[in-house]
């Protein structure tokens, strides 16, 4: 399948009879996420002579970050039985503190804090004003009322909204991958190729969406999985877990091979597109391995955060100078400097971390906000502000999905004009420098693929302690409370090393009541553990007014604010050095 680079009229309806896409709608996407679809028929696209957005090094760091994140993550995790106590956790702490909240607020910043998008606020008030207000009001209306005020308790509302958010964020991630491939496709002057566009969408949604969801289900990592996924899927899926992993891995390689083969057969094939496809396949390949979902979580989320931050830093760089307003002029001086936008989003992410981490709902370990802000972060999670903070977290998340779609909707001429700092940037790179930087990115791609292959052939030294990934609670019936049935006991659980399923559970110490013992055994028989961890585990249980599953010992939070601050300082020094070299 090949496509020429003719810049004829486009039609985004996708009908085969039309032959080409309509120019006005060529870039329209169906995603609520941050995606870019840029047509080649416009004059500003024909001027692009490079396949890179800014160059191999910039693209390699911000867009193709999976290529260097994968080997670093696997290197830091090597030799550790508990990955959340390894140097990998320190790396993820730094990336989370600097990019998580900043990336979420990046599209909001573009919409409301840049001169480039100011005309859109007046021209499209429903998209940029009314809908965000409605989303915010809806989230607060769900969380602020007490349990008795609505038909559902706050916990039930939280579970329902978390499930909706999981579905949205899964599609959001997949759509961002489609947008990155579309951006590179337009750089290669193939934006009008219907077949390649369809293949990109299929690859992004299948690999970045469906296969990731399959990996989450097998690992028990879906949001409140016991409330919906486990009720829908048949029981035989659990026993066929290994076969499903193998089938999904084969599907991954088949789809990746088809995309790469098609790309290489195209006369205007794009090296950045090939590298992005490989990087995405590497990340999903890690997710499908049973060793640890934490490895995939670090790479998957960090790549997404960095891509969003990098694009947001470039988008307003060509905006016009405001004529009035001290604050507008200050923000303009910030916006025309991409490195300043990155530093601002990093600082914002660092400061707001304890506020937004209230929604994290960690079952074990130390919250990252505790490491920086200590008791302040802990008090926020136990204060009366929790409902409002949860509403704020969900509202900003849903607004993020909406505004990403709005600020990167390149089918709109006004959006293309606002984003000309990104789409109109055609900086020329000397030939030798381009070859040198491209070779560097290719080396990282080779290391990335090799590291994944090595990870599949080796396991961490020593036996990893059992780590539960699905933990339904024992049922304590209301009539037992009326009868005053209480008791403490210990359950001994035997775990299948291959699947992580519980193969046996018995009372090592009885609670003193057969009904309570039965409830404990029924619940713990359904637990699931990370494959390849311990073979047995003792679980203490106490029945009182409510069942109290064991809570893990928490390590006292240690201030670690110097780590992200040092990264900020180092980044600032690097920017100043680079600017000094350019002037020289």
C-alpha to C-alpha distance for 331 and 207, rounded to whole angstroms? 39
Asked whether residue 206 falls in the same domain as residue 307, the answer is: yes
pLDDT value at position 349?
95
pLDDT value at position 30?
36
Total number of domains constituting the chain: 2
CATH code at position 495: 3.30.1150.10
Asked whether residue 244 falls in the same domain as residue 356, the answer is: yes
pLDDT value at position 44?
33
Asked whether residue 411 falls in the same domain as residue 479, the answer is: no
Predicted confidence (pLDDT) per residue in 21-60, tens digit: 344 333 333 333 334 444 433 343 333 446 888 888 889 9
pLDDT value at position 403?
94
Asked whether residue 76 falls in the same domain as residue 143, the answer is: yes
Query: Do the domain assignments include residue 5?
Result: no
Could you write out the three-class secondary structure of 254-267?
A: HHHHHHHHHHHHCC
Query: Do the domain assignments include residue 6?
Result: no
Domain carrying residue 487: 472-548
Asked whether residue 58 falls in the same domain as residue 176, the answer is: yes
Query: Do the domain assignments include residue 515?
Result: yes
pLDDT value at position 53?
85
pLDDT value at position 40?
38
Query: Do the domain assignments include residue 503?
Result: yes
Query: Do the domain assignments include residue 14?
Result: no
How remote is the C-alpha of 250 from its chain's centroid? Answer: 24
Asked whether residue 538 falls in the same domain as residue 576, the answer is: no
Asked whether residue 416 falls in the same domain as residue 526, the answer is: no
Asked whether residue 458 falls in the same domain as residue 480, the answer is: no
pLDDT value at position 365?
58
Could you give the angle at the alpha carbon of 552 between the alpha carbons of 547 and 553, nearest 5°? 130
Asked whether residue 342 falls in the same domain as residue 375, the answer is: yes
pLDDT value at position 564?
53
pLDDT value at position 442?
65
Asked whether residue 409 falls in the same domain as residue 267, the answer is: yes
Half-sphere exposure of 14 (CA within 13 A, CB side): 9
Query: Do the domain assignments include residue 149?
Result: yes
Query: Do the domain assignments include residue 15?
Result: no
- The label of the residue with tokens 């020593």 reads 462
Asked whether residue 124 falls in the same domain as residue 199, the answer is: yes
Asked whether residue 49 falls in the same domain as residue 135, the answer is: yes
pLDDT value at position 458?
47
Query: Do the domain assignments include residue 29?
Result: no
Which residues does the chain have with pLDDT short of 50?
5-49, 456-463, 546-560
C-alpha to C-alpha distance for 567 and 573, rounded to whole angstroms? 10
Q: How far is CA 289 from CA 3, 193, 235, 247, 447, in A?
A: 36, 35, 21, 12, 18
């Amino acid at each position: 399948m090949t496509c020429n680079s003719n810049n004829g009229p486009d039609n985004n309806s996708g009908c085969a009879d039309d032959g080409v896409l309509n120019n006005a709608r060529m870039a329209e996407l169906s995603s609520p996420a941050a995606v870019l679809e840029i047509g080649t028929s416009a004059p500003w696209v024909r001027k692009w002579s490079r396949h890179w957005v800014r160059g191999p090094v910039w693209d390699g760091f911000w867009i193709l970050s999976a290529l260097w994140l994968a080997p670093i993550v696997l290197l830091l995790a090597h030799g550790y039985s508990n990955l959340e106590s390894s140097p990998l956790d320190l790396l993820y702490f730094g990336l989370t503190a600097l990019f998580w909240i900043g990336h979420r607020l990046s599209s909001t910043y573009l919409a409301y804090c840049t001169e480039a998008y100011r005309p859109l606020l007046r021209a499209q008030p429903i998209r940029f004003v009314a809908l965000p207000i409605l989303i915010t009001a809806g989230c607060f209306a769900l969380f602020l009322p007490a349990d008795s005020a609505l038909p559902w308790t706050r916990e039930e509302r939280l579970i329902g909204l978390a499930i909706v958010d999981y579905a949205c964020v899964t599609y959001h991630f997949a759509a961002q991958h489609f947008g990155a491939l579309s951006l590179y496709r337009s750089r290669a002057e193939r934006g009008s190729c219907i077949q390649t566009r369809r293949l990109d969408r299929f690859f992004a949604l299948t690999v970045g969406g469906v296969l990731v969801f399959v990996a989450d289900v097998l690992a028990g990592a879906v949001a409140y999985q016991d409330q919906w996924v486990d009720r829908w899927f048949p029981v035989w899926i659990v026993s066929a877990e290994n076969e499903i992993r193998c089938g999904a891995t084969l599907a991954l390689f088949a789809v990746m091979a088809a995309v790469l083969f098609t790309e290489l057969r195209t006369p205007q094939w794009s090296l950045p597109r090939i590298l992005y496809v490989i990087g995405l396949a590497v990340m999903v390949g890690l997710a499908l391995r049973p060793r640890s979902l934490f490895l995939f979580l670090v790479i998957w989320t960090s790549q997404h955060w960095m891509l969003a931050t990098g694009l947001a830093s470039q988008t307003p760089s060509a905006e016009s100078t405001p004529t009035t307003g001290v604050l507008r002029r200050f923000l303009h001086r910030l916006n025309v400097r991409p490195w300043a936008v990155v530093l601002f989003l990093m600082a914002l992410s660092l400061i707001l971390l304890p506020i937004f981490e209230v929604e994290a709902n960690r079952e074990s370990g130390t919250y990252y906000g505790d490491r920086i802000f200590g008791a302040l972060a802990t008090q926020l999670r136990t204060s009366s502000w929790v409902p409002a903070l949860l509403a704020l977290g969900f509202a900003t998340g849903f607004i993020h999905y909406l505004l990403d779609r709005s600020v990167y909707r390149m089918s709109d001429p006004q959006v293309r004009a606002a984003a000309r700092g990104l789409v109109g940037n055609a900086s020329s790179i000397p030939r030798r420098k381009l070859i040198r930087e491209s070779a560097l990115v290719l080396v990282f791609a080779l290391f990335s693929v090799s590291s994944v292959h090595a990870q599949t052939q080796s396991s961490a030294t020593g036996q990893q302690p059992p780590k539960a990934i699905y933990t339904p609670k024992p049922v304590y019936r209301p009539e037992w409370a009326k009868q005053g049935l209480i008791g403490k006991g210990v359950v001994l659980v035997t775990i299948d090393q291959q699947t992580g399923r519980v193969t046996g559970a018995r009372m090592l110490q009885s609670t003193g009541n057969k009904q309570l013992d039965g409830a404990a055994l029924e619940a713990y028989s359904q637990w699931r553990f990370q494959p390849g961890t311990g073979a047995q585990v003792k679980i203490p249980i106490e029945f009182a007014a409510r069942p109290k599953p064991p809570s893990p010992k928490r390590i006292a939070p240690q201030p670690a604010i110097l780590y992200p601050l040092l990264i900020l300082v180092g980044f600032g020094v690097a920017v100043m050095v680079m600017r000094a070299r350019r002037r020289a």
